[in-house]
Every structure is written in structure tokens, then in C-alpha cells.
Chain A
């Protein structure tokens, strides 16, 4: 059924260059479209004559190191013809990734896109209220990126202070190697 959708998409919206992506070794197959036409593609699926995909469930962003991949999971929620689809786009610009917002098509996209922006830094143009949702409003950095390093300080508080990281226990072996024989002797005396 996905292959029919792909051919329909390529007929109606030729700019989408829709591709059928089969499952790799296990899992689900999906449809890959170009990032520029994402609103038209989702509008096509929402108003599809045979299977109207009424609900956008979740927008999930994944950071593969060369590109960002954004997956839209849509579903028909029809009692007799229930279908699910994964539509993906790829963004290769790592400094300013932008995508068209689909809030006017699916209202549930408002909070899902805010979360995508918060976690991965993807800007959605024409979004009514694009700001951070889970992290505090003045947080720096986008946590779910693969190259994310947390800053040292946030508002004067130290993030991951050494005193609470149990460093001495983790690095006990560095000091232990120096007085190895003494420690072994003490341990043998206890019966270990």
C-alpha cells in the first residue's frame, strides 16, 4: 500500500520526489519526501479521498551525524480501515535547520514541533509560538544532538558538580595501584 501512496505522491506533487524506504533488517517501512514540500505532502494525506489521515500522532527527530531525520507518524483512526504511516524528511544543514510548520494542517503539531525545536534545534517557520517546552527557557544547547556537551554553569549553578559525581569511587583504582600490596594484604586479612 505504501508503494501506491508513493506513486500517487509523485504524480500529484512531483517536487516531493517521494521514495519508498523498505525496512532494513526488521521494523517498519516508510516514505521519504523532500523537506521543502512537507506541508503539501501532509495536506495531501489529510485530505486523501480514500484514506483520510485524520491524526498526527508524534513528530520524532533523529540525529544521524550527516543529517537530521524528522519522522511524522500519521494515522487514519478509522474504525474499519485503520492505517498508519511514517513520513520522513531529511535536513542536511546543521547550523540552521529549518522546516515548514504544519500547525495549520494538524493542530497537534504545535507542541510536537516545540519539542523537536527544544531537543534538536530545528526551527519551524510560521509556527505561532516557537519556544522551549521541556528545558528551561534560557537553556543553552540542544540536548538530543549527538555532539551536545552540557555547559559548565547554568544561572550560577554548576551542572554535574564533581562532589556529586562519585569521582573518588570511580577512580579508586588510580590511587589503589600505587599501594597495591598493602591493600591486597588488608583484604586477605579479612578473608576476601
Chain B
């Protein structure tokens, strides 16, 4: 017996009594289990397959749940920053900026200009580092082993700079209420200028090595298409929404910090070389072009960096006034939102994190039926999930 859905994909299959008893066929359940090199973390996807074609995909999350929201009810506002770092551990500066902007908006503190420039510089560098991981691991999923290490070598330079200013390579605790922890010296600015020049050449090399490759194009074009209506229905943001052709970037629409003083473009998926808008190839192209734009912004900031204090006036013990707020900022994987409820104490009453990867993983069951298993792996890699954000 076979049950088909309205798109003519097989969703259920069992053997009948009247059929030949020696011939049995049913859907096979395979676990793309919690330990898997291509799921970028501990994600379990239960796939029901009919030979090589996926009939149903059910993601199970919660393997990295660390109860961050419950912990933050007992810790003061300054101490919640290390917890927020560990949400998207590959793009920690963006998470910190989102949280600290939420707290500062409630407090009404003024941040000096130099501190704002340093914050945006650090966030854009973090975006480059995060997209390098996305690029390297995505191509690794598809079977190419070389670009992974090339991408990580460039990332090492960014992490070395971060270690010099904040003391840690991945989980920084650098952005504080009122400014930043340490200042940037002139030598570090020179190092960054050298890095910008070298990195432009490396980006061209990545495009020659991977983007122009016919085999890569055949594996990612027309695969995993998210239509624009799907993106709105599920609430997709970030490169996933921009890959479907919609020019939505919070840094342009509701600019925060000093993004309105910088010149940059917002890349969208345009379906070059005959690919469908909204497929994996376009999402990959959006990330590669975003790295170029972030590099442009880093160069502008290094030119315009003002002189002044790097930390403004902030109270020693942070006590927020009563109220609640919801603020979104543009992180490397989408829009991160913080819903903060405060009752006038030293600790938050409720901190809810709206994470972009949570909504992106929920889109997988919608687009999976009808794909082959290798296409499904290409789709999972292209939405670029980090389980720390999904599970919190």
C-alpha cells in the first residue's frame, strides 16, 4: 500500500497481504544521528527513505540544551554575558552586541563614538570569521577536503587579533555596558590593514576553487529551494531570506550603532548561471558576497576610527528599570532577538532568546520530501546551523 501526498511524493508505504508474500517493501528509517560529521553539532534527523529518496525528515533537537534562560534569572546582568557568548559560539561578538544593546536601551546609557566604532569593527570581523566556517564546513560536507583548511587559516588571523584585544579566541566577554573592555592599539590596526589586503586575494581564490567548479554547481543548484512565501511563513531571516531574493537586512532597515555612517551593499540571491533563486547555491553566494561587504566595512572603519575614550559612564551595579523590551540585531546566521523582562532587580526576571537557527531547522521537514539523501545533506549544510543557538 502506498500513500502519496499532493505533490506526488511517497510518504507512507507498507506491504499488503494480497501482494506477493516473498516481496516486502516499506519505508526505511535512518538516523542522521546526534553524532554525525555533517550536522554541525548534535542534531538528530530521523529520515524515512524510499530507496535513495527522502520521504519524511523529522529533526529532534535538545541535545545541547543548557538551560541558559533559567540560569540567567539568578545571575546579574554583567554575568549573563558569558552565557550569551555561548549561544552562537562561532559568532559570539554578534550575540554580545545584541544583548548589550538590549540592556543599554533599557538603561539609556550613552556610548562614546570610539567604542561604537570598535564594536562594529569587531562584529564585522566576527561575521567574516563565521562565514569562513560556514564556507569551509559546507564544502567539507560535499566532499571537498581542501578549502576547509584554507578557510581556517584565514580565520586564525582574525582569532589572533581577538585574542590580543580580549584574551580569548572564541568566547570573548568583550562588549560591556557602556563600551568595550580594552582599547585597540595602532599596531593592531596596521595588522588588520595587512589582513584586509591579503584576504581580498584569498576570496578571489575561493571563488576560483569552489564557486566556479562545475561539480559544486551541479550539487547545489536547484537543490533545497525555499520559496519566498515559505520564508515568510516560517520566519526565516539572514542569508536564508536573502538567498530567496528578498533584500532584508536589519543593518539597513533599522540601523543600530553606527551602521548608517558606513557604505555597504546587501547581497541577494540572483540566480546566476541558471540556478533557481532560493536554492543552496544562492545562499552560498550570499555568504561569499557578504564577506566582501564586511571587508569593505572593516576598511572604512579603520580609516574613520575616532580618538576618544573606549568606555563610557556605566553604573557599577546594573539595575534596570521596570519594563520589557524586544530587540533584534543582525547576527551572522539571521536575526537574534532578546526579550528581556525586568522587575527592577539586579537580575533579569525573564530573558528569552529568539534564535534564527531554531526557525531554520524547523523549515527542514517542509523542504525535504522528494530529495535524494545527498541533496538533503547539501540543504542541511547550506542553512548553516549552530546547535548552541538552537538549543540554548
A134 partner, pick from B62, B233, B248, B337, beta carbons under 8 A:
B62
In the complex, residue of chain A having the shortest beta-carbon distance to the beta carbon of B69: A144
Confirm or deny: A24 has a beta carbon within 8 angstroms of a beta carbon on chain B: yes
Residues of B near A23 (CB, < 8 A) are 323
Asked whether A107 lies within 8 Å of B233 as measured between CB atoms, the reply is yes
B326 partner, pick from A26, A55, A84, A111, beta carbons under 8 A:
A84
CA distance A85 to B254 in the complex (A): 15
Interface string of A82-95 (1 = CB under 8 A from B): 10101000000000
Confirm or deny: A2 has a beta carbon within 8 angstroms of a beta carbon on chain B: no
Q: Is the contact region of chain B dominated by helix, strand, or loop, or is it mixed?
A: mixed
Asked whether B337 lies within 8 Å of A73 as measured between CB atoms, the reply is yes
Residues of A near B232 (CB, < 8 A) are 54-55, 77
A57 partner, pick from B254, B323, B354, beta carbons under 8 A:
B354
Asked whether A133 lies within 8 Å of B325 as measured between CB atoms, the reply is no
Confirm or deny: B296 has a beta carbon within 8 angstroms of a beta carbon on chain A: no
Confirm or deny: A162 has a beta carbon within 8 angstroms of a beta carbon on chain B: no
CA distance A134 to B328 in the complex (A): 23
In the complex, residue of chain B having the shortest beta-carbon distance to the beta carbon of A63: B350
CA distance A136 to B63 in the complex (A): 9
Write the nearest CB–CB distance from A113 to chain B, whole angstroms. 11
Asked whether A111 lies within 8 Å of B323 as measured between CB atoms, the reply is no
Confirm or deny: A58 has a beta carbon within 8 angstroms of a beta carbon on chain B: yes
Counting chain B CB atoms within 10 Å of each CB, the highest count among A56, A60, A135 belongs to A60
Residues of B near A24 (CB, < 8 A) are 321-324
CA distance A144 to B339 in the complex (A): 15
CA distance A79 to B246 in the complex (A): 9
Asked whether B323 lies within 8 Å of A26 as measured between CB atoms, the reply is yes
With contacts A134-B62, A143-B67 taken as known, whether A26 is within 8 angstroms of B248 at the C-beta atoms is no
With contacts A73-B339, A82-B254 taken as known, whether A106 is within 8 angstroms of B233 at the C-beta atoms is yes
With contacts A111-B359, A143-B67 taken as known, whether A25 is within 8 angstroms of B321 at the C-beta atoms is yes
Interface string of A55-68 (1 = CB under 8 A from B): 11110101100000
Residues of A near B253 (CB, < 8 A) are 79, 82
Asked whether B62 lies within 8 Å of A111 as measured between CB atoms, the reply is no
Residues of A near B67 (CB, < 8 A) are 143
Confirm or deny: A110 has a beta carbon within 8 angstroms of a beta carbon on chain B: yes
The size bracket of the interface on B is 35 or more
Interface string of A5-42 (1 = CB under 8 A from B): 00000000000000000011111101000000000000
Confirm or deny: A99 has a beta carbon within 8 angstroms of a beta carbon on chain B: no
Asked whether B391 lies within 8 Å of A108 as measured between CB atoms, the reply is no
CA distance A133 to B358 in the complex (A): 11
B359 partner, pick from A26, A71, A108, beta carbons under 8 A:
A108
In the complex, residue of chain B having the shortest beta-carbon distance to the beta carbon of A86: B326
A108 partner, pick from B233, B254, B341, beta carbons under 8 A:
B233
Confirm or deny: B155 has a beta carbon within 8 angstroms of a beta carbon on chain A: no
Write the nearest CB–CB distance from A29 to chain B, whole angstroms. 9
Confirm or deny: B106 has a beta carbon within 8 angstroms of a beta carbon on chain A: yes
A60 partner, pick from B61, B65, B320, B339, beta carbons under 8 A:
B339
Interface string of B352-392 (1 = CB under 8 A from A): 10100011001000100000000000000000000000011
Confirm or deny: B193 has a beta carbon within 8 angstroms of a beta carbon on chain A: no
Counting chain A CB atoms within 10 Å of each CB, the highest count among B67, B253, B320, B350 belongs to B350
Interface string of A128-143 (1 = CB under 8 A from B): 0000111110000001
With contacts A27-B325, A77-B232, A136-B62 taken as known, whether A108 is within 8 angstroms of B362 at the C-beta atoms is yes
In the complex, residue of chain A having the shortest beta-carbon distance to the beta carbon of B65: A134
Confirm or deny: B150 has a beta carbon within 8 angstroms of a beta carbon on chain A: no
Residues of A near B62 (CB, < 8 A) are 132-136
Write the nearest CB–CB distance from B63 to chain A, whole angstroms. 9
Residues of B near A133 (CB, < 8 A) are 61-62
Question: B308-360: which have CB < 8 Å to A?
Answer: 320-326, 328, 335, 337, 339-342, 344, 349-350, 352, 354, 358-359
Asked whether B391 lies within 8 Å of A134 as measured between CB atoms, the reply is yes
Asked whether B320 lies within 8 Å of A26 as measured between CB atoms, the reply is yes
In the complex, residue of chain B having the shortest beta-carbon distance to the beta carbon of A69: B341
Confirm or deny: B247 has a beta carbon within 8 angstroms of a beta carbon on chain A: yes
Asked whether A28 lies within 8 Å of B325 as measured between CB atoms, the reply is yes
CA distance A55 to B323 in the complex (A): 24
Write the nearest CB–CB distance from B72 to chain A, whole angstroms. 11
In the complex, residue of chain A having the shortest beta-carbon distance to the beta carbon of B361: A111
CA distance A54 to B232 in the complex (A): 6
The 6 closest A-B pairs by CB, nearest first: A27-B323, A25-B321, A58-B354, A27-B325, A108-B235, A60-B352
10 contacts between A and B (CB under 8 A): A24-B321, A26-B323, A60-B354, A73-B354, A77-B248, A106-B233, A111-B359, A111-B362, A134-B61, A144-B70
Beyond A71-B324, A144-B350, list 20 extra A-B contacts (CB 8 Å).
Answer: A24-B321, A24-B322, A24-B323, A27-B323, A28-B325, A28-B326, A55-B232, A57-B337, A60-B354, A73-B339, A77-B232, A79-B253, A82-B254, A106-B233, A110-B362, A111-B358, A111-B359, A133-B62, A135-B62, A143-B70
